[in-house]
Structure 1
């Protein structure tokens, strides 16, 4: 009897402890930022974020200001790296690979890549993926490849080919791109999505729809079906990953004008980008019962 009670208590303790450790870490996009790094980081921290996601600043002054603001407000950083499609393949691959050295020196939480091109061959795109994955292993920093229009991962069927042939390919799932590419919410493609879900290690939380990569306001009732579809997919990914790791990272990535729909002639955004991103963070926390 005592042994049974001990086993039961141990199971309860381990289960409870494991559940308590599960976390979501949220990163705010700096896309459209028009204030100083200090002001942006202060606002990001006050809004409840763990970090921010950004392209590496091009000038030294901005780099110094970013580093100071991250330290001041205790924020993590996730960097973006991308294939320059305007360069010849070999030059682009060299620049892409070299840039990792700079990003890694900052010890980011992760690096999210806009990898390759939809006009490159499979082998050309694979060269970018392999270079990034090797750097990730050598430096023990997560490197993910975002599902994104214009890249190797611009649609579901083609991305599956890469997933099936590259075992260590890890994705950032921004499924809003695929909603518009496939002109649907992919309602009948759950089986096709299984491999993608298994390979998704980071999420870009933006709501797309059959006619565009970003709804005007995720709180508007007319978008409920699209929001629920995205949430179902994201929850599936997060709960699967929580079985093997305690922390899952998410970037809220509603964009500014003109990615955000605007009024004609004025280019005034029809909704508040910051508010939309906060809504996505709070909705995911509520959905997954994260305080």
Structure 2
């Protein structure tokens, strides 16, 4: 009888959970951008995005053009901030901390951080996370830390240690990095991924595989298994955040340009269309989550 009641409770809980639906906002990466901000933003808007995710432009003229393009095409902006791995720890921490002030002045939708260094100690990496979390609390701006090769979060076991040590650690989940680091689609790690999914507040949507962080073309049938594995994980993140009334949930489609995208030898011609891949993954997520 107890088992039957437990099954009924589980079923009804999952049914109610699955019915929770919120809003998704999609951001387009400017990685590999070769056109003006106006042209880029115009095409981004026409492709169905809500905003763009970018590194802050290095000069005032570019900043001015960016602001005008965002306003003209009614797009939001999410910024990237990163630990400069070429600098010593203290200098890098100061630069990382100071840069938040510039980014916050633009009132971004969120800030996604490439935090720390896989060669720093846990104490050093934690200093970057702590300062970002303090600024997030003071400013009211969402600041996340991306699961990324070369950073504190370059693999699943180490990230688990940081989640244990830092209860308010919020992640941007780019699971494609871990697929290649662990040489698998992490199909036997669902239990260990539960806390990661719970801590994920933003997604970088790119399909990786056991031998690389980016498949050559996510529409190709040979990558169907990898695509579905990523979609399954992303769906769990989104449903959990919707159930927590975390709306809207933000996603950046982030297939990269050559040489991140595979190319033909000698000519270096890309084997697929980066823009098309990113729009495809946005539409695939919308279809999976049954949203417009």
TM-score, normalised via structure 1 length = 0.93
Q: Deviations over 1:128-178 (max 9, x none)?
A: 000000000100000000000000000000000001110110000000000
What SS is found at the alignment partner of 2:81? strand
What SS is found at the alignment partner of 1:25? strand
1:34 aligns to 2:34 (yes or no): yes
Q: Deviations over 1:213-257 (max 9, x none)?
A: 000000000000000000000000000000122210000000000
RMSD between superposed Cα atoms in Å: 1.0
Tell me the residue number matched to 2:273.
272
Tell me the residue number matched to 1:232.
232
Tell me the residue number matched to 1:219.
219
- In the TM superposition, what is the alpha-carbon distance from 1:198 to its structure 2 partner? 0.4
Query: Contact 2:20 / 2:242 at 8 angstroms: preserved in 1?
Result: no
- In the TM superposition, what is the alpha-carbon distance from 1:269 to its structure 2 partner? 0.3
Tell me the residue number matched to 1:62.
62
1:290 aligns to 2:281 (yes or no): no
1:263 aligns to 2:264 (yes or no): yes
Tell me the residue number matched to 2:3.
none
- In the TM superposition, what is the alpha-carbon distance from 1:19 to its structure 2 partner? 5.2
Tell me the residue number matched to 2:138.
138
Tell me the residue number matched to 1:84.
84
Supply the distance in 2 between the matched residues of 1:133 and 1:43 (Cα, whole angstroms). 34
Tell me the residue number matched to 2:8.
none
Supply the distance in 1 between the matched residues of 2:144 and 2:130 (Cα, whole angstroms). 12
Supply the distance in 1 between the matched residues of 2:186 and 2:284 (Cα, whole angstroms). 21
Tell me the residue number matched to 1:10.
none
Supply the distance in 1 between the matched residues of 2:106 and 2:247 (Cα, whole angstroms). 23
What SS is found at the alignment partner of 1:111? strand
Tell me the residue number matched to 2:159.
159
Tell me the residue number matched to 1:9.
none
Supply the distance in 1 between the matched residues of 2:131 and 2:37 (Cα, whole angstroms). 31
Supply the distance in 2 between the matched residues of 1:226 and 1:44 (Cα, whole angstroms). 26
Supply the distance in 2 between the matched residues of 1:26 and 1:197 (Cα, whole angstroms). 19
What SS is found at the alignment partner of 1:35? coil
What SS is found at the alignment partner of 1:287? helix
Query: Contact 2:20 / 2:239 at 8 angstroms: preserved in 1?
Result: no
Query: Contact 2:112 / 2:145 at 8 angstroms: preserved in 1?
Result: yes
For residues 197-216 of structure 1, what are the structure 2 equivalents within 5 Å? 197-216=197-216
Supply the distance in 2 between the matched residues of 1:130 and 1:75 (Cα, whole angstroms). 30
Tell me the residue number matched to 1:250.
251
Runs of 4+ in 1 over 2 A off after TM superposition: none
Supply the distance in 2 between the matched residues of 1:19 and 1:261 (Cα, whole angstroms). 38
Supply the distance in 2 between the matched residues of 1:224 and 1:143 (Cα, whole angstroms). 32
What SS is found at the alignment partner of 2:141? coil
Unaligned runs of 5+ in 2: 1-15
Q: In the comparison of the two structures, how many residue pairs are matched?
A: 274
TM-score, normalised via structure 2 length = 0.93
